[in-house]
Structure 1
Amino acid sequence: MANDGARVDSISRGDEGITMSETSREITPEDVCILIPTLDEAATIGDVIDGFYAHGYTNVLVVDGDSDDATREIASERGARVHVQSGSGKGQALREAVSIVDTPYVLMLDGDGTYDPADAERMLEPLSAGYDHVIGNRFADMDDDAMKALNGFGNRMINRSFTFIHGAEYEDILSGYRAFTVDSFERLSLDSDGFTIETELAVECVKHSVKTAVVPISYSARPEDSETNLHPVRDGGTIVLALYSLAKTSNPLFYFGSLGAGGIVSGGLLAVYVLVEWLWYGIGHEILAMVSAAGILLGVQLLMFGVLSDMIVTLHREQRNHLEQITREANRED
């Protein structure tokens, strides 16, 4: 199931640094927009903004989902640009924000105080080395009370499902701490409006062969006066469904193959039941026999469609990578 076009590198805390390549670039704080989507984060947003200012990052953009508390007022008082999103949901906020960003690099994080501004340099370092997307791995240094046991289990299962379905080991696809180039972001086809945006970002990075790095970050517990907007069971199920549905275009062999296998197994079990009933008891189930045959036939057709779709997607990916390589070489010559 592996995706040959995926490129991901995991960077441990013990690494001295990232080897600079011919595509390396120098990034200064002025080149980076700190993007913070918010919804009722008055208890924490001020400290988050202050933390980035303390580390030299003064271009802070808060995209607010029409909070009912004083989030916008506090953010504005601390010196951040405040933009009220026209729609709703974190995904819509991200797409709208990137369209008004005036820097080549974006560092995105939640405004709930769980992510450390001190990790900004670590997050941006891979971009300097030529990577286009960086994911902060929360599990590398997580406070004991930062994530409930159920949430931790669900996160790990979702990460394993992502690796199995989409063929890339991103370690923490639900992390809200991301760094990316605006150019690479504009290559992605993002449709999610809600909190599944991190999942869609990870899938799109695999699908479009975006050079991705995973770096360790620290992850703290939410302050007691800050409430989460997520619901573990309901939202976890939504994410798993999103992972599966997104495989339709990134890994069609898995998507249609699993549907086809389900049809074949269901039709086969029904056929066994019909056969047993006829051999042992002399009872005929003509309608059930037709249904089982239809299920098996549909399953085989879906499997064949999955194989053909996978060949088309693979060919398309190879052609796109080749064209992008030609474009990069032409730009270097210019």
Structure 2
Amino acid sequence: MSDHDDVCVLLPTMNEAETVARVVTDFRDAGFEEVLVIDGGSTDETRSIAREAGARVVEQSGRGKGQAVREAVRDHVAAPYVLMADADATYDADDAAAMLDPLFEGEADHVIGNRFADMRPGAMTRLNRIGNRLINLAFRAIHREGYRDILSGYRAFTRESFLRLHLTADGFGIETEMAVECVKNRVSVAVVPVTYRERPGGSATNLHPIRDGGVIFLELYRKAKTNNPLFYFGSAGAAATAAGLGMGAFVLYRYLAFGISHNVIAVGAVGATILGIQLLVFGFLADMIHSLHREQIARYERVIGGEAAEGPSVADGDGPAVEADGSTEANRPRSASGSELADDAGRDGRGD
């Protein structure tokens, strides 16, 4: 009997034949019987090697890491807890217990492994390190949470909390999107220090720093639309206003200094300035609506939580049960469905 029968180790793979056996074996030796490898169509021997090492192997129906993770958790995982890692042997199975402890103790529903806490020499190039730092700073500025390492592929989460997230990213943006959705849906997050090692020789990374970094930055900005609308619309408004004022200053200078008028540029300057101011105003209004919406959701959850905590009903003869405040079972929400209603409220407030 394993100590972790309620945990599924999830390993998304794509041409990881050099390392997948080592990773599967390490997690099984650490006490995890359920190791699921979801493969994105590897052209090497990844799937057969993973099966020989003792993993359950599924080939994903689509493409990309994000699609693989969504499909695996939704269709192939039955365990209440999921421990997700990369199959490139950069993460340490010995850190699994620390990753899972916040879930088991009820301290968090989602755990992120912080690679920067113990990053071994050669584990990350200078370019990747700078890019990671910039992305984490952007995440903190845009989404107002500091998770230290939002691009970490070492995650642990409850299956229930994962299904509450509205995830659409297909590629490496899945980690960023999970972090943003945790903020949006107020999923409790813990950050745990983990060891991050250099990829073993012979294995090649599937990450393209420039391309994937650009995708991640775009994902951060796109998600700000429903999580921080003031930043989303305000930044575009500020840029448009600055461009309009700049063009206007150029037109004015040319007219005063040389008597030359630039009518087309002047029209563009006025249009850009008006558009920018409108976007700024819209950003402030959207932020006010967003804040009010969050307050309403929080109030609703407190009410539902209070109803769920109330004592049993007092029977009034053979009629419907009468509550302490005089309401009946027929005209008040059922306390047994309080958590479901709260989840519905969270889903209604997700935006895109």
Higher relative contact order (CA 8 A, sep 6+): 1
Q: Say if 1:141 and 1:36 are closer, same or farther in 2 by CA, change over 3 A.
A: same
Does residue 56 of structure 2 align to residue 81 of structure 1? yes
The one of 184, 209, 213 aligned to 2:161: 184
Q: Counterpart of 2:89?
A: 113
| Residues 79 and 327 of structure 1: CA distance in aligned 2, closer, same or farther (over 3 Å) | farther
Amino acid at match of 2:158: T
Aligned residues: 308
- Between 238-247 and 206-215, report the one with greater CA deviation: 238-247
Give the equivalent residue in structure 2 for 1:7: none
**Partner of residue 51 from structure 1, selected from 15, 20, 26:** 26
Distance 1:221 1:296, change over 3 A: same
| Corresponding letter in the other structure for 1:242 | E
* 1:158-307 equivalence runs, <5 A: 158-307=135-284
Please tell me whether the aligned partners of residues 136 and 214 of structure 1 are also in contact (alpha carbons under 8 angstroms). Answer: yes
User: How far apart are 1:309 and its partner, in Å?
Assistant: 1.2
> Where does 1:84-163 land on structure 2 (aligned, <5 Å)?
84-99=59-74, 100-130=76-106, 131-163=108-140
Specify whether residues 319 and 218 from structure 1 end up closer, same or farther in structure 2 by C-alpha distance, changes over 3 A only: same
1:32 lines up with 2:28 in the alignment: no
**Partner SS, residue 267 of structure 1:** helix
- Distance (Å, rounded) in 2 between the aligned partners of 1:311 and 1:187: 25
What is the TM-score with the length of structure 1 in the denominator?
0.89
In the alignment, the residues of structure 1 paired with residue 80 and residue 47 of structure 2 have an alpha-carbon distance, to the nearest angstrom, of 25
Residue 137 (structure 1) shift:
0.2
1:327: how far off?
4.5
Deviations 1:125-175 (A, max 9, x none): 111232111000000001111111111111111111111111110100000
CA–CA separation in structure 2 for the residues paired with 1:120 and 1:312: 41
1:332 is displaced (CA, Å) by 5.8
Q: Which runs of 5+ in 1 are unaligned?
A: 1-26
Report deviation, 1:318: 2.6
Alignment RMSD, CA only?
A: 1.5
Structure 1 residue 245, shift from structure 2 partner: 1.5
Deviation at 1:290, TM superposition (A): 1.4
For residue 318 of structure 1, the aligned residue among 295, 299, 313 is 295
Cα distance in 1 between the residues matched to 2:309 and 2:51: 41
**Residue of 30, 34, 45 corresponding to 1:70:** 45
SS state at 2:5 partner: helix
With over 3 angstroms needed to count, the CA separation of the structure-2 counterparts of 1:66 and 1:326, relative to structure 1, is: farther
The answer on whether the counterparts of 1:115 and 1:220 sit within 8 Å (CA) in structure 2 is: yes
User: Are the counterparts in 2 of residues 35 and 63 from structure 1 also a CA contact under 8 Å?
Assistant: yes
Alignment correspondent of 2:346:
none
SS for the counterpart of 2:33 is coil
* 1:199 partner letter: T
Say whether the 8 Å CA contact 2:3–2:31 is kept in structure 1: no
Structure 1 segments of 4 or more deviating over 6 A? Answer: none
Assess, with a 3 A threshold, how the Cα gap between structure 1 residues 104 and 331 changes in structure 2: closer, same or farther. Answer: farther
Q: Check conservation: 2:142, 2:224, Cα contact below 8 A.
A: yes
State how far apart, in whole Å, the 2-side matches of 1:260 and 1:153 are.
28
CA distance in 2, matches of 1:80, 1:210: 30
Alpha-carbon shift at residue 304 of structure 1 (Å): 0.9
Q: Deviations over 1:21-58 (max 9, x none)?
A: xxxxxx95111110110001111111111111111111
Paired-residue identity, %: 56
Q: TM-score, normalised by structure 2?
A: 0.84
2:286 to 309, 315, 324: 309
1:262/1:73 CA distance change after superposition, 3 Å: same
